């Protein structure tokens, strides 16, 4: 039970971090901050697709991470 609780916390926090990073990356891509579109060599016609994928991944990661952290906090 202890191991499962630790695993839940680690995965939950990791997912929150990944979700936030992907979300920030999506915003940076959209605004082309620090010329990230050039850095990632991104064709302009594919930008909406990448934004959508990053946005959805970020959204579901944050929600899922939130559920896991909620589960972990409920047990501690």
Partner 1 sequence: MANERKLGLFSAIIMGLSGAIGFEIFALLNYAYFDLAGPSMISALLFCGIINLITMFSYSELSAALPTVGGEYTYTKVAFGGFISFMAGCLRWLASVFGGALAAVVFVNQLGVLFSVFAPSIQDLVLVNASLLIVGLVIILIFLSIRGVEEATTLIVAAFLAIFIIFLAMSLGYTLTPQNIVPEASGSSLAVFFATAAYIFPMFVGMRALVAGAPQIKNPGKNVPRALMITTILLTVVYFAVAFVAVGAVPLSMPRTAEDPPLLNLAASTIMGPIGAILFALAGIIASVSSVGTAMTVQSSILGGMSRDGYLPKVLEKAHKRFGTRYLAIIASSLFVIFFGTSGAVEFLGYAASFGSLLVFALVNLSLIQLRRKMPRLDRPFKAPLYPLTPLAGIVMSVLLLTFPVILRDVNAESALLSSFGMVAIVLVTYYLRMVKREVDFNRIRVAVGGICFGVGVTLIVLTPVIVAPSMFLIMILAGLVSILAGIINILVSAHKID
Task: Using CB under 8 A, list all residues that contact partner 1.
Answer: 7-8, 11-12, 14-15, 18, 22, 40-41, 45-46, 48-49, 52, 56-57, 60-61, 63-65, 67-68, 71
CB-wise, 5 or 27, nearer to partner 1? 5
Question: Please, what is the minimum distance in Å from the beta carbon of residue 1 to partner 1?
Answer: 12
Question: Please, what is the minimum distance in Å from the beta carbon of residue 14 to partner 1?
Answer: 5
H-run or E-run covering 76: none
CA-closest candidate to residue 68, choices 2, 20, 14, 1: 14
CB within 8 Å of 15: residues ≥ 6 apart = 61, 62, 64, 65, 68
């Amino acid at each position: 039970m202890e191991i499962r609780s630790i695993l839940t916390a680690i995965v939950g926090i990791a997912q929150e971090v990944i979700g936030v990073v992907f979300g920030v990356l999506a915003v940076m891509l959209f605004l082309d901050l620090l010329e990230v579109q050039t850095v990632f060599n991104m064709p302009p016609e594919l930008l909406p697709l990448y934004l959508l994928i990053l946005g959805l991944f970020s959204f579901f990661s944050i929600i899922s991470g939130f559920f896991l952290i909620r589960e972990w906090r409920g047990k501690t």
